[in-house]
Amino acid sequence: MSNLGKYAPSILIFLLDHDKVKKTDLLKVVPSTGTMESTVKRLEEQGVIRTEKKYIGRRIIYISLTEYGHAIAGQFKNINEITNSKSSGQYKICPVCGTKNDEDAKYCKNCGSKLDK
């Protein structure tokens, strides 16, 4: 599997936790539309995610994991949990930007991404 980009693990974990999402929902874990578009394109080319276009008054693109993507996302989530459990317990590391956050924080103080429990 070639380089999927810096934000691929965050997108995959987000999809694992949320199943099928609107493409724009990925902006919760990716800092910009351009980054999201390029990462989604790479993930789709590698067969990790699938996109589905629906027209409900306007075009909406849904993103979900393929079976292969579920396996990869599960591995990323396991690595993330192991990494977080080995921290000193005084802070949480943001999976998107790497910022140290207070232990009880739910969202990253730097980028606003949701932090794992």
* In the chain, where the domains are located: 8-87
pLDDT, position 66? 96
Query: Dihedrals φ, ψ of 77, to 5°?
Result: -65, -40
Cβ distance 47 to 67 under 8 Å? Answer: no
CATH number for the domain whose boundaries are 8-87? 1.10.10.10
Q: Distance (Å, rounded) from C-alpha 87 to C-alpha 70?
A: 26
Our measurement of the distance from residue 64's CA atom to the centroid of its chain's CA atoms, rounded to an integer in Å, reads 11
- Measure Cα distances from 32 to 9, 37, 39, 45, 99 in Å: 16, 9, 11, 20, 18
How confident is the prediction along the chain (117 residues), in pLDDT tens digits per residue? Answer: 557 788 999 999 999 999 899 999 999 999 999 999 999 999 999 999 999 999 988 999 999 999 999 999 988 888 877 776 655 567 788 888 878 888 888 888 888 888 876
Query: Dihedrals φ, ψ of 108, to 5°?
Result: -65, 135
Quick: pLDDT tens for 73-100: 988 888 877 776 655 567 788 888 878 8
> Whole-prediction pTM value?
0.68
